[in-house]
């Protein structure tokens, strides 16, 4: 190790030991192992080993494989800084934006024709077509620079066409895509914030540096849940937060490519004093941290007392913004019950809502609750929700 990096070799199942390295200046990990998890267990183990037994590590010159990696990282950082220093050519930027908008418009026109043909022919034969049928149009949306539409089409192809009632789920998703495509064709008659929502779902990105220049919301934020998914070598992490004073929910997202550092390192249950800046939206939810300080305390947030209150809030947000993420709700006094071969969450008024994670977490939830009402954090929308956390003896536990 030296002042810039920490490295080591770990013997795995192969003939050559894995080369593990950590950039201490920006806390980035790299390892030659084939693991898809990031950071991998070797990187975490190396960091923990150094923290617990620093005397076992000696200062030495960097081996070539560590120096090469650090140099490449430094070069990338310099290029980014050079780009940020150069003045922005507003005219060229406007032309690029206009060219992309025309590409997206052409792609949306083609998508609408494809959807009309699909409905005209009927959907009963859809299960026979397979995911490749949707992948073809998804790739066309990528060419049209509309990655959000491409992701929605791929989700259509991933529906379980062997389950009862797949027609309803399929048509609901298809109608959402149709509504989004038509909304893009009529952007000029919408409010500025709804335009932002539509363009975000289409796949237009927001400049985060420009967003950080805007004033944010300062609060004590509690981390309610962390969700991770991996696709095409990119790990997506979602952190759901709750403002204990503002009662505002927030979503932080980060995308991790193997070998790169992480921006957020948050755990469910922790609290931080932070200023969050929200992306423009009719129903602000996604945000980024402008500045933060971790706090050594826990809080008990105020939530909803019944499913009717949740439904009323969800309906209000749907009326404002039909293009929105699922979102968390803190609901008091919920009990898991088994009815009609499914698990439900029952409130104090005996109203029931279906649990989406029927098999993955239900046994844990039932064993902890013991059939008694508990305060829970759920994530979802409309009729189905996933349990992600509970309060047990005034202590928050992620599920």
Mean pLDDT of 13-38: 85
At the topology level, CATH places domain 208-295 in OB fold (Dihydrolipoamide Acetyltransferase, E2P) (2.40.50)
Mean pLDDT of 200-207: 92
- Statement: residue 259 has pLDDT above 60: no
Percentage above 90 pLDDT, the chain: 53
Least confident segment among 70-84, 149-163, 383-397: 70-84
Mean pLDDT of 169-175: 93
Q: Which range scores top for mean pLDDT: 65-74, 162-171, 196-205, 289-298?
A: 196-205
Sheet of 249-257, strands arranged across: 249-257, 234-243, 217-231, 271-278, 287-295
Q: For the chain, give the mean pLDDT.
A: 89
Give dist(CA 355, CA 11) in Å, integer.
43
Tokens of 213: 């220049």
Higher-pLDDT residue of 281 and 76 is: 281
Looking at residue 103, what is its pLDDT? 96
Side-chain-side CA neighbours of residue 396 (13 Å): 21
Higher-pLDDT residue of 80 and 321 is: 321
At the topology level, CATH places domain 307-398 in OB fold (Dihydrolipoamide Acetyltransferase, E2P) (2.40.50)
Least confident segment among 100-104, 273-277, 334-338, 356-360: 356-360
Domain boundaries, the chain: 5-85, 90-202, 208-295, 307-398
DSSP string, 46-111: HHHHHHH-GGG----PPPHHHHHHHHHHHHHHHHHHHHHHSPP-HHHHHHHHHHHHHHHHHHHHHH
Fold match flag (208-295 vs 307-398): yes
Residue range 185-194, pLDDT digits in tens: 999 999 999 9
Looking at residue 143, what is its pLDDT? 96
- Distances from the Cα of 255 to the Cα of 69, 197, 235, angstroms: 21, 20, 6
- Statement: residue 327 has pLDDT above 60: yes
Looking at residue 18, what is its pLDDT? 92
Q: What pTM does this model have?
A: 0.76
Looking at residue 144, what is its pLDDT? 96
- Statement: residue 209 has pLDDT above 60: yes
Looking at residue 88, what is its pLDDT? 60
Looking at residue 183, what is its pLDDT? 96
Looking at residue 255, what is its pLDDT? 86
Mean pLDDT of 69-82: 81
Mean pLDDT of 335-348: 92
Looking at residue 363, what is its pLDDT? 85
- Statement: residue 130 has pLDDT above 90: no
Looking at residue 187, what is its pLDDT? 93
Q: How confident is the model at residue 301 (pLDDT cuts 50, 70, 90)?
A: confident
- Distances from the Cα of 72 to the Cα of 19, 26, 38, 149, 261, angstroms: 17, 14, 19, 34, 14
Q: How confident is the model at residue 384 (pLDDT cuts 50, 70, 90)?
A: confident
260: DSSP letter: S
Least confident segment among 71-80, 115-124, 169-178, 322-331: 71-80
């Amino acid at each position: 190790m030296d002042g810039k990096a920490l490295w080591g070799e770990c013997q795995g199942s192969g003939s050559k030991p894995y080369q593990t390295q950590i950039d201490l200046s920006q806390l980035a990990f790299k390892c030659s192992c084939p693991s898809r998890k990031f950071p991998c267990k070797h990187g975490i183990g190396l960091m923990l080993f150094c923290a617990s037994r620093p005397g076992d590590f000696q200062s030495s010159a960097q081996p070539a494989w560590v120096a090469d990696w650090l140099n490449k990282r430094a070069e990338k950082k310099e290029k980014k800084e050079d780009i940020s220093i150069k003045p922005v050519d507003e005219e060229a930027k406007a032309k690029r934006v206009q060219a992309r908008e025309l590409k997206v418009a052409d792609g949306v026109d083609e998508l609408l024709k494809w959807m009309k043909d699909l409905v005209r022919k009927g959907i009963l034969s859809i299960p026979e077509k397979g995911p490749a049928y949707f992948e073809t149009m998804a790739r066309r949306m990528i060419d049209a620079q509309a990655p959000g539409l491409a992701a929605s089409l791929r989700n259509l192809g991933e529906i379980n066409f062997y389950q009862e009632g797949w027609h309803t789920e399929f048509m609901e998703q298809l109608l959402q895509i149709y509504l989004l495509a038509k909304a893009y064709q009529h952007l000029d008659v919408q409010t500025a914030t709804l335009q932002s929502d539509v363009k975000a779902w289409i796949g237009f990105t927001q400049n985060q540096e420009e967003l950080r220049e805007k004033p944010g919301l300062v609060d004590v934020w509690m981390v309610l849940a962390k969700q991770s998914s991996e696709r095409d070598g990119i790990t997506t992490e979602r952190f759901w937060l709750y403002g204990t004073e503002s009662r505002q929910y927030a979503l932080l997202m980060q995308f991790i490519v193997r070998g790169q550092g992480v921006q957020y390192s948050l755990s469910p249950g922790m609290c931080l004093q932070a200023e969050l800046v929200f992306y423009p939206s009719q129903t602000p939810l996604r945000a980024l941290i402008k500045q933060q300080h971790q706090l050594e305390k826990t809080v008990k947030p105020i939530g909803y007392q019944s499913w009717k209150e949740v439904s009323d809030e969800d309906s209000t947000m749907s009326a404002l913004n039909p293009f929105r993420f699922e979102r968390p709700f803190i609901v008091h006094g919920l009990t898991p019950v088994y009815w009609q071969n499914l698990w439900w969450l029952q409130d104090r008024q005996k109203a029931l809502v279906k649990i989406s994670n029927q098999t993955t977490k239900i046994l844990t939830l039932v064993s902890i609750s013991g059939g008694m009402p508990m305060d829970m954090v759920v994530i979802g929308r409309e009729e189905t929700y996933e349990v992600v956390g509970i309060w047990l003896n005034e202590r928050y536990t992620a599920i």
